Amino acid sequence: MAKKATSKGGSSGRKPSGSRSGTSVARASSSGGGGRSGSENGFDASEAFVKLLQSPLVAELVAVAATAALGALAAQGFTNGGSRGKRTGNAVKAAGKAAAAAIGARLKTEIEEIRRASKASSGAEA
């Protein structure tokens, strides 16, 4: 799962920001249980979105996409000729495609791990 993959500390040698390896940070909520519209049932979409952005999987996806995009930009910069404007446009397009492909591959891997774990746990319970 994503927590296992991100707990190794990274290979770049730099220290991860903060000391929260896979844990979420508690935030003070301004709702205070008051009668805000949309949060009467206890669900706050903005808090859920912040928690999603803080998840280890999202951090890993951003890192994978950035690495793929950087590699594509470097490859386009060295291999393509032509005018500077056209080359830049092609490089950006290739970087976007590489980032999307990397995210897709990583999500596919994550979903397969979830499916395998689900099958293993359902088989153990039955």
Instruction: Give the whole-angstrom CA distance, residue 47 versus residue 37.
Output: 14
Residue 115: inside a domain: yes
Mean pLDDT of the region 82-91? 77
Confidence of residue 7 (pLDDT cuts 50, 70, 90): very low
Evaluate whether 5 touches 63 at the Cβ level (below 8 Å).
no
Domain with 118, as residue range(s), is 60-126
CB 14 within 8 A of CB 126: no
- Asked if residue 87 is part of any domain, the answer here is yes
Please give the model's pTM, rounded to 2 decimal places: 0.53
> Would you say residue 93 has pLDDT above 80?
yes
* pLDDT over threshold 50, residue 98: yes
Other Cβ atoms closer than 10 A to 40:
10
**Statement: residue 14 has pLDDT above 50:** no
What is the total count of domains within the chain? Answer: 1
Tell me if 111 is assigned to some domain. Answer: yes
* Rounded Cα gap, residues 54 and 23, in angstroms: 9
Instruction: Give me the phi and psi of 113, to 5 degrees please.
Output: -65, -40
Q: How far is CA 64 from the centre of its chain?
A: 8
Using DSSP, how many helices (H) and how many strands (E) does the chain show?
Answer: 4, 0
Instruction: Give pLDDT, residue 124.
Output: 66
